[in-house]
Amino acid sequence: MKILITDDSKMARRMIIKTLKEEIKSDYELFEATNGLEALDLYKKNKPTLVFLDLTMPVMDGFEALAKIKEFDKDANIVIISADIQKTSMDKVRELGAFDFVKKPIDSTKMKQIFAKIQKT
Ligand SMILES: [Mg+2]
């Protein structure tokens, strides 16, 4: 399984990877992006099964990256991980086709739920 982790904070990426490693049972390959543009580029090159995407990032934010990745591949599984849990933001990402929305920091329970949901797709 290929997994793309996108956050402008290195610490946030490390935390996602740590939680991921505790929960993932299958083989996986990780890709890391520090902004939306890098994420879009890495998505096109690698077609990951799962994408973790921050919202507030320089160069290209998570909203735009989400829209562009979904435009490229409507079946993309993109999980938004953000501290911004305003209803307007949550509604917007749902509208753009996000697979799930997680409040930062992601915990193992939530990670488990995401993998269970991925198996069903
Ligand atoms: Mg950020």
For ligand 1, the distance from its centroid to the CA atom of residue 53, given in whole angstroms, is: 9
Beta bridge partners of 89: none
The yes-or-no verdict on residue 119 having pLDDT over 90 is no
Distance 36 CA to ligand 1 centre (A): 10
Distance from the alpha carbon of residue 114 to the mean position of ligand 1, in angstroms: 21
Taking the centre of ligand 1 as the mean of its atom positions, its distance from the CA of residue 3, in whole angstroms, is 18
What's the CA dihedral at 120, 98, 71, 46 to 10 degrees?
-60
As a CATH number, domain 2-119 is 3.40.50.2300
- What is Dmax (Cα atoms) for the chain? 36
- First-to-last CA distance in the chain? 14
**Kind and range of the H or E run holding 53:** strand 50-53
Query: How far does the centroid of ligand 1 lie from the alpha carbon of residue 25, in Å?
Result: 28
Q: What is the pTM of this model?
A: 0.96
pLDDT of residue 24: 87
Q: What is the pLDDT of residues 4-62, one digit of tens each?
A: 999 999 999 999 999 999 988 889 999 999 999 999 999 999 999 999 999 999 999 99
Structural domain boundaries of the chain? 2-119
- The token duo for 88 is 């307007």
In contact, 28 and 116? CB cutoff 8 Å: no
Q: How far is the CA of 115 from the centre of ligand 1 (A)?
A: 23
pLDDT at residue 49, rounded to an integer: 96
Task: Determine the distance separating the centroid of ligand 1 and the alpha carbon of 15, expressed in angstroms.
Answer: 13
Q: Give the tens place of pLDDT for each residue, 72-113.
A: 999 999 999 999 889 999 999 999 999 999 999 999 999 999
Cα(55) to centroid(ligand 1), Å: 6
